[in-house]
């Protein structure tokens, strides 16, 4: 007597089961299988029980099999897993101080900046619509990190995620630095790695401001627009110990290149000009107390050091647009850059 053949599970029912279990980010997920999880782990050269990182303050340890499962659910290809793993290691780094940006009412997006040869190899978009839809690697790598945060680190809305509004970037925010015709060294080299390395930088940002300037032909007027966007009166950072990410797209990159300005020149200009008068901050209720005559000539700078301004080149070559991404807003978190280690072939 032959054994009856069981029908495979209905994918639609599996997806609904994952919704009921609370394992999704609000979008349908790819139901994982033993084979798909094993392929992910193999691509990362990992055993399932290896610990990728831990957050002692939350009594949380993230195992490789949990990262692989969530990467499958996010729709990643196995080749993407080393990038996801590096990003999780960044989240767990002590300097990132995960609990603050992940849990606060500010509702930070975890921005992943990929630089080095891996970006081209995996086709991570660095050009037109770099922050937007349409590229599998960008969307699924960023989404995998958020799913790990929810399912392996218990950072769920209303529980340990207390965002007042949040941001669409909390679904996925991953892009690459464009490596062609940079006006200075690649971002990961500026962060201390070798030119042949690949890396992901994890940065917590509450918001994104697009910066428009069509007429500026020299860096000074162009960068004044960035400085103003970085220290607007509603910015969370008025105390001067934050980081910010500045992403220069094509036309604005060319303005800087033509001037011969270095990365450090741009950073110093922004540190000097991203400032507000104490009187303005008091009138807006961002600092306590009444306005004193001295406040009209007393400045509060948004940044302490040039290194507080992260500079990346990405986006389309056409259009007079760039972007500022203010940091989460306190000194307790710092961006972290992690080398992406792919297993030997």
pLDDT for res 330: 64
Instruction: Assess whether 341 and 197 both reside in one domain.
Output: yes
Instruction: Assess whether 52 and 160 both reside in one domain.
Output: yes
How far apart are the C-alpha atoms of 96 and 38, rounded to whole Å? 30
pLDDT for res 7: 54
Instruction: Assess whether 199 and 339 both reside in one domain.
Output: yes
pLDDT for res 6: 53
Which of these, 69, 65, 63, lies nearest to 33 by C-alpha position?
69
pTM of the predicted model as reported, rounded to 2 decimal places = 0.94
Torsion sign over Cα 76, 203, 244, 109: positive
Instruction: Assess whether 89 and 186 both reside in one domain.
Output: yes
Task: For residue 310, list its beta bridge partners.
Answer: 245
Instruction: Assess whether 63 and 189 both reside in one domain.
Output: yes
Q: What are phi and psi of 333, to 5 degrees?
A: -120, 145
How far apart are the C-alpha atoms of 34 and 68, rounded to whole Å? 11
Say if 280 falls within a structural domain.
yes
Instruction: Assess whether 217 and 233 both reside in one domain.
Output: yes
The angle formed by the CA atoms of residues 26, 30 and 36, to the nearest 5 degrees, is: 145
Instruction: Assess whether 60 and 145 both reside in one domain.
Output: yes
* Domain, as residue range, for 240: 207-327
Say if 9 falls within a structural domain.
no
- Locate 30 and state its tokens: 């790819």
pLDDT for res 35: 97
The angle formed by the CA atoms of residues 112, 325 and 188, to the nearest 5 degrees, is: 45
Instruction: Assess whether 154 and 226 both reside in one domain.
Output: no
Q: Which residues contact 306 (CB under 8 A, 6 or more apart)?
A: 264, 267, 268, 271
Domain count, the chain: 2
| Mean pLDDT in order along the chain per 10 residues (345 residues) | 56 92 96 96 96 90 97 98 98 94 91 97 97 97 98 92 92 94 94 96 93 96 96 81 91 96 98 95 94 96 93 95 88 91 68
Q: Which of 136-175 are b and which e, b meaning 16 or more Cβ less than 10 Å from the residue's Cβ?
A: ebbbbbbbbbbbbbbbbbebeeeebbebeebbebbbbbbb
pLDDT for res 8: 60
Say if 7 falls within a structural domain.
no
């Amino acid at each position: 007597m032959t054994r009856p053949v069981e029908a495979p599970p209905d994918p639609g029912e599996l997806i609904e089961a994952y919704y009921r279990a609370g394992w999704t980010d609000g979008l349908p997920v790819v139901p994982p299988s033993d084979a798909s999880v094993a392929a992910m782990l193999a691509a990362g050269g990992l055993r399932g029980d290896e610990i990728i990182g831990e957050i002692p303050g939350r009594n949380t340890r993230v195992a490789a099999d949990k990262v692989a499962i969530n990467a499958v659910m996010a729709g990643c290809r196995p080749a993407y897993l080393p990038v996801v793993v590096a990003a999780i290691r960044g989240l767990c780094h002590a300097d990132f101080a995960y609990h603050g940006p992940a849990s606060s009412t500010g509702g930070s997006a975890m921005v992943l900046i990929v630089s080095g040869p891996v970006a081209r190899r995996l086709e991570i978009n660095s050009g037109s619509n770099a922050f937007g839809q349409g590229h599998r690697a960008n969307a699924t790598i960023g989404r995998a990190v958020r799913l790990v945060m929810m399912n392996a680190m218990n950072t769920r809305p209303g529980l340990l995620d207390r965002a007042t509004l949040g941001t669409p970037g909390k679904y996925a925010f991953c892009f690459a630095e464009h490596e062609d015709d940079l006006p200075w060294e690649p971002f990961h080299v500026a962060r201390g790695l070798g030119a042949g390395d690949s890396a992901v930088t994890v940065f917590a940002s509450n918001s994104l401001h697009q910066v428009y300037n069509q007429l500026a032909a020299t860096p000074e007027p162009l960068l004044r627009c960035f400085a103003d966007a970085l220290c607007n009166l509603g910015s969370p950072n008025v105390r001067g110990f934050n980081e910010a990410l500045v992403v220069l797209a094509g036309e604005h990159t060319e303005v800087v290149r033509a001037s011969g300005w270095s990365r450090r020149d741009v950073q110093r200009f922004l540190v000097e000009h991203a400032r507000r008068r104490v009187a303005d901050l008091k009138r807006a209720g961002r600092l306590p107390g009444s306005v004193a005559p001295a406040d009209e000539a007393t400045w509060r700078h948004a940044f302490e050091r040039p290194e507080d301004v992260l500079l990346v080149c990405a986006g389309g070559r056409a259009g007079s647009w760039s972007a500022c991404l203010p940091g989460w807003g306190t000194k307790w978190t710092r961006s972290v850059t992690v080398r992406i280690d792919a297993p030997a072939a």
